[in-house]
Amino acid sequence: MSSLLRFIPSSICGSRPEIDEQSTSSPDVEVNQATSEKDVKNSEKKSRSLSFVDQHEVEITTVKDPTLNPGELTFEEDVAGGMGRHLGVFSCTLLIVGRIIGTGIFSTPSSILGSVGSVGASLMLWVLGFILSFCGLFVWLEYGTMFPRSGGEKVYLEAVYKKPRYLATVIFASNAILLGFTASGCIVFASNILVSAGHAADRWVVRGIALGVIAFVTILHGLTPRLGILLMNGLSVFKIIILVFIVITGWVVLSGKTRVQDPHANFRNAFAGSSHSSNDYATATFKVLNAYAGWSNVNYVLNDVKNPVRTLKIAGPLGLGICAFLYLFANISYFAAATKPQILKSGVTVASLFFGEVFGTRAQKALTVFVALSALGNVITITFAASRVNQELAKEGVPLPFGNRFWASNWPTGKSPLPGLIIHLIPSVIVIIAPPPSVAYPFILDVEGYPQQIINLFIVLGLFWLRWKKPDAARPFKVWWPIAFFFLVAAAFLLVAPFLRPANGIGDTPPLPYYLYCLVGIGVMFVGIVYWAAWRIVLPRIFGYELTPRKERLEDGTVVTLFSRRKVD
């Protein structure tokens, strides 16, 4: 155990208890033999307890095999700085629930129904999304327990794809920064607030409110991090309560004891009108998976998690299981309360339509406020995790404007990465302002989903590669390989199917071409390749220098990788 202790920074372990030398060495104190034996047993018990905690706060995988270390920073360097480990099982479970439940279940069922054409096919996709998400969760659990540090996919890609050096990091960075916006949640919040207030959803009014939301969340997490976590947890609990209420209301509707005339109409011939286009199903699956997105949220912030291996094993399945149960029954409630045409016309206010049909206009307005608060909670949760990922990218040395010291720091509080929040803020503002909200929302869902599937494909391929090349590596959790293979097949299908022509020939984001979101996603990743080539190959050759990495500890304790340019003759 002593060989492992040197890998643990003092900030993680905390100070060790001091021994009162006077009490143990004074000749005036008589030591009772029974008491002495009891003290020895207590000491051994505490030692075993400390060893247990230490083992679970050390990256055992890289201790046993240093060649598996992802990136430039060691584990103890990577976890240094910030607030330390302060998130337990409760907060991590709510971190997943708060990330998953947001705009998706309240806003996208109508879009998914429009893509696949029938209630039955729509419900089947929600079940499929649940299965795929659990398969992905188990893959990420294996990675996360092997490498319990912040960054998520960034860390796992670096651990597997080490050559060409930094290529995987920069490609991931282009996706995380350029597509790491939280615009959709802000738009849904703005739309629902306007509906509840009885105002028309004017384009610039929606944009103005959405900009205010993302600015508020940035300041909240950047300047008052503990308040941000409390608010995040509170809104996550609130969202669970809302969905439980919708589910129970749906059961009452199905019993026939409400104002809804025929609650079983949508279920009698549930698969009538189903699409026969694989493109439609692939596009709809992206939206379902986006609604489930968040099961890996704890993986992005593991530097902040107490006993990260144990916590991840519990919080991951628990958080996703809660959401999957609520999602499926909430959809059934929607289909019981409204007709198919009504749902298709509801746009991003399908939950509001549900309460309007069941309880009337007043309840509809009240529910709209609840949905807006749920969207706000989702934005707060996404932003919390995204800022940590951006900070990890800066710490790794990915070249950013104005130097990496600032972007990697926890300025100004020394506890929360406000610079990482700013990186997240910039693309969010651009996406909110640029396109019309009515077109932007469905297109944003599609664009966010496609590049993530590319990353998922390489992540699961990397898992099989590590199993082959490093069969004896320490794996605190090991996914059953058929589950990983199923996830691999699904990821490959979701990459190919969107290029097949949909049944209606135009997709669900007219006037934009149905394949445009795929090309945009690929283009973003190609930007990463170009950026890497310019940074690592083209510019060094033109100006005759090579990049030499070095590490520097900032005032807040954060360790960052910086690159010096050494002239080459």
Domains of the chain, first to last: 82-567 (1.20.1740.10)
Q: What is the reported pLDDT for 152?
A: 96
Describe the crossing of helices 203-223 and 418-433 by its angle, rounded to 10 degrees: 180
Task: Give the distance, in angstroms, between the CA of residue 10 and the centroid of all CA atoms in the same chain.
Answer: 29
Q: What is the reported pLDDT for 243?
A: 93
Q: What is the reported pLDDT for 281?
A: 85
Q: How far from 364 is each of 17, 192, 357, 369, CA to CA, in Å?
A: 58, 10, 8, 9
Query: Nearest Cα to 280, choosing from 446, 58, 55, 472?
Result: 446
CA distance 83 to 225: 9
CA distance 467 to 301: 25
Q: Read off the pTM.
A: 0.85
Cβ contact 110:442 at 8 Å: no
Q: What is the reported pLDDT for 438?
A: 62
Q: What is the reported pLDDT for 353?
A: 82
Give CA torsion, residues 110, 112, 117, 119, to 10 deg: -70
Q: Which residue has the tokens 């996703």?
A: 320
Q: What is the reported pLDDT for 349?
A: 65
Q: Which residue has the tokens 């499926």?
A: 328
Q: Which two tokens stand for residue 108?
A: 């996208």
Q: What is the reported pLDDT for 209?
A: 95
**pLDDT tens per residue, the chain (569 residues)?**
433 333 333 333 433 333 333 333 333 333 344 444 444 344 444 444 333 344 457 899 999 999 999 999 999 999 999 999 999 999 999 999 999 998 778 777 888 888 888 999 999 999 999 999 999 999 999 999 999 999 999 999 999 999 999 999 999 999 999 988 888 889 888 988 887 888 887 888 989 999 999 999 999 999 999 999 999 999 999 999 999 999 999 999 998 888 888 888 889 888 988 888 877 888 788 788 878 989 999 999 999 999 999 999 999 999 999 999 999 999 999 999 888 888 887 765 677 788 888 887 777 778 778 888 998 999 999 999 999 999 999 999 999 998 899 999 999 999 999 999 999 999 999 888 876 656 666 677 678 778 888 999 999 999 999 999 999 999 999 999 999 999 999 889 888 878 877 766 776 667 778 888 889 899 999 999 999 999 999 999 999 999 999 999 999 999 999 999 999 87
Query: Does the N-terminal peptide bond of residue 341 adopt cis geometry, omega within 30 degrees of 0?
Result: no
CA distance 220 to 308: 25
Q: Which residues are registered as beta bridge partners of 25?
A: none
DSSP conformation class of 466 = H
- 3-state SS track over 411-462: CCCCCCCHHHHHHHHHHHHHHHHCCCHHHHHHHHHHHHHHHHHHHHHHHHHH
